[in-house]
Structure 1
Amino acid sequence: MSHSQNDPRVPTETPTVSGADAGRIARAAFVGTALEWYDYFLFGTAAALVFNRLFFTELDETAALLAAFATFGVGFFARPIGAMVFGYIGDRVGRRPALIATIVMIGVATGLIGLLPDFGNIGLLAPVLLAILRLVQGLAVGGEWGGAVTIAVEHAPVEKRGRYAALVQIGSPVGTLLSSGAFAVVLLLPADAFDSWGWRLPFLFAFPLLLIALYIRMKVEESPIFRNLVNEEETVKVPSLDVFRTAWRRLIVAVLGALLGVGGFYMITTFVVSYGANTLGVDRQIMVNATLIAAVAQIFVTVIAGRMSERFGPGRMTMWGGILTAVAAFPLFLLIDTRSPLVITVAITLGIVLITIAYAVSGALLSDLFPPKLRYSGVALGYNIAGAISGALPFVATAMLTVSNDASWGAALILVIIAILTALGGFIGERLRVADKRIVVDDK
């Protein structure tokens, strides 16, 4: 049965893609993804700087921070569920409707966090509502990134997919710039003003950003490859079930390949901001500003790595990104431990640059691991299972500080482990890539 307005009796045509369309679609996917990561990173920064003090105030300092990071992690654990739900929509109904639904959910949930009363006003209900909104964020993100990558890749010529998939990835550093920049501005307020209303402004800013992203995304056409699947009646009933049943090896490789880009990023940003401000006693403004500088560098590295993946393959780029990060992990944390603002900024920037080598090509690698009929679900599940694992990393790294007497070696060890796993995923993934067939390129 058809799941599109297209009449299945119409003779099947070979999907046609063009460079002009690919650029426009990828930019639309990028705008939505930038909002997605703005919202998501905003929560991570607030978990490190605000929520531990305003929403978990009956706990001691360490317990409150752990509770804040646990709430941060709730969104990650919801992401595989969102991947299955929106993967079903994306692989059965269409990539486009799934992407519109996810962007609305995450924008509204983030804006509502800015309106949420704190513990002092409504008691225990405050952290409960915070966790619920975080859950909604997680469900939406579970479908957003996989859909954005899928629709960008499926509109692009095969030999140019690396650059267009990387364009979606630029949403991450742009989201970081927007969220960290917003917090850098409100942190200039007096402490009392920041705690009472200043921290809410970046969350409320999600509402106008949502309107802009939704306007742009509504203009996106459906993927030509998906339309072809519908015309040939090749869609599957429960795509995520088919991924687990027939493509589980590829799913494991996808999880490994995505692990460093997600988990490593949160180790170098969310955990390090908390570690620097709360353990080392470094001014939190310095920590936030360091992530801003790193995000600018990440944009350039993403563009370069995306182009390089078209020549060397996204799997090889992922492998080398993992190896280089593993080698640099302990030195990076030793630099952070110096407490020097300049050295910390260099360390965070270098850490993000190395992680980005793998992260920039995640979309190209994961989309090449799954055939079109399972692509949305496979990409979303791989990325978001990695995300679910990653969500616990700041919590685990913070807990390890109590074991290591506030030494950073535990966090560095975690970064080494996930970097090696991602290098392995890249090595295997390069050998499992599948090519879409029967695509006509029209660059007229």
Structure 2
Amino acid sequence: MATTPQTLSHSTAGGIDRSHRRVIFASSLGTVFEWYDFYLYGSLSAIISKQFFSGVNETTGFIFALLAFAAGFFVRPFGALVFGRLGDLIGRKHTFLITIVIMGASTAIVGMLPSYAAIGVAAPIVLIGLRLLQGLALGGEYGGAATYVAEHAPDGKRGLYTSWIQTTATLGLFLSLLVILICRVTLGDQFEVWGWRIPFLISIVLLGISVYIRLQLQESPAFLEIKNEGKLSTAPLTEAFGNWKNLKIVLLALFGATAGQAVVWYGGQFYALFFLEKILQVDAKAANLIIAAALVIGTPFFVVFGALSDRIGRKSIIMAGCVLAAVTYFPVFKGLTHFANPALERAVATAPVTVIADPADCSFQFDPVGKKAFTQSCDVVKSSLAKAGVPYDNEAAPAGSVARVRIGNGDGAVLLDSFPGNTLGKAEFKTANDSFSAQLKGALTQAGYPAKANMAEVNYPMVIALCTYLVILVTMVYGPIAAWLVELFPTRIRYTSMSLPYHIGNGWFGGFLPVTSFAIVAATGNIYNGLWYPIVVAVMTAIIGTLFLRETKDRGL
């Protein structure tokens, strides 16, 4: 029984036959639905914060909602351990059937969950619990789908076969945004009242389709072969991570492959959207359409680079993607500024802003619970500039001096003095801060800084072209990664071994890229400094991967 599917797998080296298309379709479709479920929460964070975190102020509630979203990323590696172990013990098919049931059920329950107004603090507690279950399920889904497809693929076509799995995250994001858009247009104002639940409840239908299709699948031939030969691992976690020979490859796969892949993936899609919308102040709808256009153009390249990796190798393509990202991120994002908000570019060039302050007077303004008050003179200046979306440089002032902001250079520069807000009462601080903010806004406007991007000045073809280039970098590093990870590890512990580095890389290095990069921007004032995070990680991966990881395209499973 083991040899029949194995023979079938290798008999189709000339193309993808019907049975293999079914394997790819079933695995990819289920993974699309998993990503759909996962991204719904992020897309509806603002509404979720009102429904489930209304017991605190609006800002703190939104922060809590984002932290709950981040929790899903945090637990993904733990899902990789739990379900990776099951996948190596009982089989790929059964395990990723379990993961999709957990994901679909958790998402559907969110659509039925009473709000904070109805059941109080129990609502956010249950919501976060469901979010954790989603992250755990996703941690087990990807490794199962990638392993299952790869173990069905003929030699010489694993890059092509598994590249279809790589398109699923983008397609899942598309699907979630499409369903939300249809519901918003159809329901109007009622969407935020009760209509937001519909996209979550649709998961019941998607779950039924996915389960039905996956129940028709057979176990992977490679797993059946080692099962029939009595070679299954009895302790996958111990073999994968307790054996230095394999653990070394796990660590190299993390730092020499998935970490760089992850930051390029998130940088080219999510951070690019954030940069357009929040930094360059491009209209939110236009920014989403720009990224959507880039994704439509770029998504086929997942398959292109996956297939190309079967010919020239996985390693060379992924390393090239990391190096290109490191070398071109700064000019590309500066190009986005030039073509999306030229008025901001002109203002920065002709009237640069500098904060002159005692470094000891400047706080790192991060407060997840909304209880701290940042009232020192430096904090007042930086907070006002951040809210206005204005980049600035920092210049040290003598200890104890009150912070100032300088707009422009030379004799024509405008200097505004801040105020020591920490010496004032609450009411006095508000009055002084409102006055300072008004002065600063007037001076910035006079210097040519736009409050919003002028949409009539946006060069849409060039902005879309630059974003498409970023997406193509994403496809370079992501298209071949599944085949490479699968081929790095032995069949008996493959599910466990490949899942952990993938989900640490994507869940932690990649998932926290937007918040990390924004924190760097906020601390330094330079709108491009947030790019140093993905650049440093991509360079690290390029060096480690090039020196220490082997090419695997000709390795049999």
Do these two structures clear the TM 0.5 threshold for a shared fold by scoring above it? yes
Relative distance call for 1:192 and 1:274 in structure 2 (3 A) is: farther
Q: Give the alignment's TM-score, normalised by structure 2.
A: 0.70
**1:420 and 2:539 equivalent?**
yes
In the alignment, is the contact (CA less than 8 A) between 1:98 and 1:147 conserved in 2?
A: yes
Q: 1:22 corresponds to which residue?
A: 20
Amino acid at match of 2:523: V
Paired residues for 1:55-70 under 5 Å: 55-57=52-54, 63-70=60-67
- Could you tell me how far 1:15 is from its partner in structure 2? 3.6
Q: 1:242 corresponds to which residue?
A: 239
**1:411 paired residue among 530, 534, 546:** 530
**1:282 and 2:402 equivalent?**
no
Residues 218-250 of structure 1, C-alpha deviation per residue, up to 9 Å, x if partnerless? 111111111111122111222122111221121
In the alignment, is the contact (CA less than 8 A) between 2:264 and 2:473 conserved in 1?
A: no
Aligned counterparts of 1:117 and 1:341: Cα–Cα separation in 2: 45
Give the SS at the match of 1:159: coil
Give the SS at the match of 1:114: helix
Between 1:87-96 and 1:108-117, the stretch displaced more is 108-117
Give the SS at the match of 1:431: coil
Residues 254-285 of structure 1, C-alpha deviation per residue, up to 9 Å, x if partnerless? 22312344343334444454554455543332
In the alignment, is the contact (CA less than 8 A) between 2:309 and 2:553 conserved in 1?
A: no
Q: 1:252 corresponds to which residue?
A: 251
Aligned counterparts of 1:218 and 1:393: Cα–Cα separation in 2: 37
In the alignment, is the contact (CA less than 8 A) between 1:372 and 1:436 conserved in 2?
A: no
Aligned counterparts of 1:411 and 1:33: Cα–Cα separation in 2: 31
- Could you tell me how far 1:209 is from its partner in structure 2? 1.3
Give the SS at the match of 2:230: coil
Q: 1:126 corresponds to which residue?
A: 123
Q: 2:266 corresponds to which residue?
A: 266
Give the SS at the match of 1:132: helix
**1:108 paired residue among 105, 128, 148:** 105
Between 1:132-141 and 1:328-337, the stretch displaced more is 328-337
Between 1:167-176 and 1:385-394, the stretch displaced more is 385-394
Give the SS at the match of 2:234: coil
Instruction: Using the aligned pairs only, state the percent identity.
Output: 32
Q: 1:206 corresponds to which residue?
A: 203
Q: 2:522 corresponds to which residue?
A: 402
Q: 2:485 corresponds to which residue?
A: 366
- Could you tell me how far 1:356 is from its partner in structure 2? 1.5
**2:146 paired residue among 140, 144, 149:** 149
Amino acid at match of 2:530: A
User: Normalized per residue, which structure has more helix?
Assistant: 1
Amino acid at match of 2:79: G
Paired residues for 1:173-212 under 5 Å: 173-188=170-185, 192-212=189-209
Paired residues for 1:305-320 under 5 Å: 305-320=305-320
Q: 1:442 corresponds to which residue?
A: none
Aligned counterparts of 1:13 and 1:221: Cα–Cα separation in 2: 12
Aligned counterparts of 1:186 and 1:277: Cα–Cα separation in 2: 23
- Could you tell me how far 1:110 is from its partner in structure 2? 1.6
- Could you tell me how far 1:351 is from its partner in structure 2? 1.6
In the alignment, is the contact (CA less than 8 A) between 1:365 and 1:430 conserved in 2?
A: no
Structure 2, unpaired ranges of 5+? 342-452
Amino acid at match of 2:253: A
How many residue pairs end up in the alignment?
Answer: 427
Aligned counterparts of 1:166 and 1:429: Cα–Cα separation in 2: 24
In the alignment, is the contact (CA less than 8 A) between 2:87 and 2:95 conserved in 1?
A: yes
- Could you tell me how far 1:111 is from its partner in structure 2? 1.9
In the alignment, is the contact (CA less than 8 A) between 1:318 and 1:422 conserved in 2?
A: no
Aligned counterparts of 1:144 and 1:174: Cα–Cα separation in 2: 16
In the alignment, is the contact (CA less than 8 A) between 1:102 and 1:144 conserved in 2?
A: yes
Paired residues for 1:90-101 under 5 Å: 90-101=87-98
Residues 102-138 of structure 1, C-alpha deviation per residue, up to 9 Å, x if partnerless? 1111111122222334444444433322221111111
**1:393 and 2:513 equivalent?**
yes
Relative distance call for 1:112 and 1:424 in structure 2 (3 A) is: farther
4+ residue segments displaced more than 6 Å = 11-14
Aligned counterparts of 2:52 and 2:514: Cα–Cα separation in 1: 18
Relative distance call for 1:36 and 1:163 in structure 2 (3 A) is: same
- Could you tell me how far 1:429 is from its partner in structure 2? 6.5
Q: 2:429 corresponds to which residue?
A: none
**2:44 paired residue among 43, 46, 55:** 46
Between 1:311-320 and 1:270-279, the stretch displaced more is 270-279
Amino acid at match of 2:333: F
Amino acid at match of 1:317: I
Structure 1, unpaired ranges of 5+? 1-5, 440-444
In the alignment, is the contact (CA less than 8 A) between 1:261 and 1:356 conserved in 2?
A: no
Q: 1:297 corresponds to which residue?
A: 297
Aligned counterparts of 2:489 and 2:336: Cα–Cα separation in 1: 39
Q: Give the alignment's TM-score, normalised by structure 1.
A: 0.86
Aligned-pair Cα RMSD in Å: 2.8
Amino acid at match of 1:329: Y
Give the SS at the match of 1:37: helix
Paired residues for 1:328-407 under 5 Å: 328-337=328-337, 338=341, 339=453, 340=458, 342=460, 344-389=463-508, 390-405=510-525, 407=526
Q: Compare CA radii of gyration and give the structure with the larger one.
A: 2
Aligned counterparts of 2:335 and 2:117: Cα–Cα separation in 1: 38
- Could you tell me how far 1:29 is from its partner in structure 2? 1.0
Relative distance call for 1:311 and 1:392 in structure 2 (3 A) is: same
Between 1:130-139 and 1:420-429, the stretch displaced more is 420-429
- Could you tell me how far 1:352 is from its partner in structure 2? 1.9
In the alignment, is the contact (CA less than 8 A) between 2:107 and 2:134 conserved in 1?
A: yes
Amino acid at match of 1:34: V
- Could you tell me how far 1:306 is from its partner in structure 2? 0.8
Relative distance call for 1:333 and 1:64 in structure 2 (3 A) is: farther
Amino acid at match of 2:497: G
In the alignment, is the contact (CA less than 8 A) between 1:83 and 1:139 conserved in 2?
A: yes
